[in-house]
Structures are given as C-alpha cells and as structure tokens.
Amino acid sequence: MIRVKDVTKWYGSTLAVDSVSFQVNTGEIVGFLGPNGAGKSTVLKMISTWLPPTRGRIEVAGHDVVEEPLAVRRALGYLPEHNALYEGMRVNRFLRFMGRAHGLEGARLSERLSWVIESCGVQAVLTKRIHQCSKGYRQRIGVAAALIHDPPVIILDEPTHGLDALQVVAFRSFVLGLREGHAILFTSHILNELTGTCDRILIINEGNILSDSRVEELELKAKESGRSIEEVVLDIVRSAGGAQ
C-alpha cells in the first residue's frame, strides 16, 4: 500500500505540498486529480523517492521512502507522464534489460517477460526498435517495463496521454485487471478516465487535498444536485478558493 502522512514539501520559499495525508490500499485503484501546478507531480516524486519530503512520512509497501529508498523502488512500478525509453533498443531486449535491472534471472525472468508481453499486447513490435513504435505501443512498452518485476504498488502518471479512443478503453480494462493484489495510484487531467476506472478520487489543488471521495459518492452528489460530476468537482475546487 501507499501511506502518506502529514507530508509537506517546500522548494526554497515556495510551499508546493501542504500537510497532505492519504493512503491507497491493496486492491484499490485511486485516482489523483488536479490542475497543472496543483502538487500532483511533487507528491509522486516523493512517493517514488525522487524527492525527500520536507516534513512528514511516506511508506510504500511498508518501507519508508527516506530510510529505505531501494526497498521502495523494488516494490514500485512507475510509469511517468513522460515515458523515458531507450529509443535505439529493440523492444524485446529493452524489456529483458529492465527485468535484469530489477534482479530477475533465469526462469523467473522468462516467466515475467512472457506475462508482460502478452498482458501489455506488445507481441507485434518485439523486434522493432522503440523509436519505430507508435505512441500507443510506446505507452504499452512503458507499462510492461513498469510491471516486469511484479511490483505490489503501481503508479500510472497520465498513462492514456496520446492514446486513441479504442486504446483508452483497452487500457482501462487492463488496469482494472491489475486491481487484485496491487495498490494503484492513477493520475489524469480527464475526470471521465478516473470515474471509469477508479474506486476513489483524490482532488488536489495548491498543495492541499480538497477531497478524498468514492466515485459513487461524487456521482450521487451530481445526481442529487442535477449537475454533472465535472461541475461537482469544480465546486470542490472553487470552495477552497482554487478556481475562479
């Protein structure tokens, strides 16, 4: 699971994240929603050990991100918004390289390679160089690399960016299939992507968590008020002084 407790992050004199607390349990898919500059990226960087929190505590699969960063990285599968891939490598060699980088060898490496290749649907491009692959396939390759070591915690940062409508639907189905045995944090700027996939949605703005609600609770508020779920979310932001 992911546990974030009273976490604050300062960049010099700029407060980026202010006493944020939430958790994502095993078996949950939790959406993380907020405008640009809301603090989402800073929170993700702290969870993934790229940045230390100024104050507070973060645990991933029971490991503290400051005290046990290597254990956190072993437990975490992370697809960043800007999918960093080795452009000149062939897909099959890249995935094998990523598996070995995570300490996989022999039968276990072969087992995980077979699983990610089939589950992420990259069979057709295995012998292509990554730069020859389409945006959709590049996202699939990034997901395969993030999951190669079978991590219990998964972070997907804007994973459907650049995908067409059919690819988005297929990706949602794939993520839902990962729920069992995993804690998944899924970020997006598009609310419909989160409501169609997630159990709960965290709304962040100006470094503060404004809401931590189950999707059905937001949908019920929208129905009772005769408004769209987008309008309900916007009201939550506006009520905190985060939008005009």
pLDDT at 74: 94
Query: 96 near 109, Cβ under 8 Å?
Result: yes
- Cβ atoms within 10 Å of 3's Cβ, excluding its own: 18
Q: State the pLDDT at residue 240.
A: 66
Choose the most confident range, by mean pLDDT, from 81-90, 148-157, 213-222, 227-236: 148-157
Beta-strand pair 153-157/76-79? parallel
Q: Are 195 and 219 in contact (CB under 8 A)?
A: yes
What is the torsion angle, in degrees rounded to the nearest 10, for the CA atoms of residue 17, residue 45, residue 23 and residue 7?
-30
Question: Residue 223 corresponds to which tokens in the numbers above?
Answer: 């129905």
- Give a yes or no: residue 233 inside a domain: yes
Residue 239, pLDDT above cutoff 80: no
Tell me whether residue 92 is in a domain: no
1 vs 7: CA distance, rounded Å: 16
Contact (CB, 8 A) for 58 and 49: no
Which range scores top for mean pLDDT: 90-94, 214-218, 240-244? 90-94
- 10 part of a folded domain: yes
Length of the chain (residues): 244
What pLDDT was estimated at residue 158? 84
Overall average pLDDT of the 22-28 stretch: 96
pLDDT range class, residue 26, cuts 50, 70, 90: very high
pLDDT score at 244: 44
Q: How many CB atoms lie within 10 A of CB 53?
A: 23
Rounded CA separation 211/108 (Å) = 41
Q: Does position 242 have pLDDT exceeding 70, yes or no? A: no
Please report, for the domain that includes residue 184, its CATH number.
3.40.50.300
Q: Is residue 129 part of a domain?
A: no
Question: Radius of gyration over alpha carbons of the chain, in Å?
Answer: 18
Mean pLDDT over 44-68 rounds to: 96
Q: What pTM value is reported for the model?
A: 0.88
Examine residue 189 and state whether it is found in any structural domain, yes or no: yes
Mean pLDDT of 64-91: 92
Q: Which two tokens stand for residue 99?
A: 């598996």
Q: Which domain holds residue 40?
A: 2-86+151-239
What's the domain count of the chain?
1
CA-nearest of 213, 176, 174, 180 to 33 is 213
DSSP alpha helix (H) spans, the chain:
40-47, 69-75, 91-101, 106-119, 135-147, 165-177, 191-195, 215-225, 229-239
Question: Is residue 136 domain-resident?
Answer: no
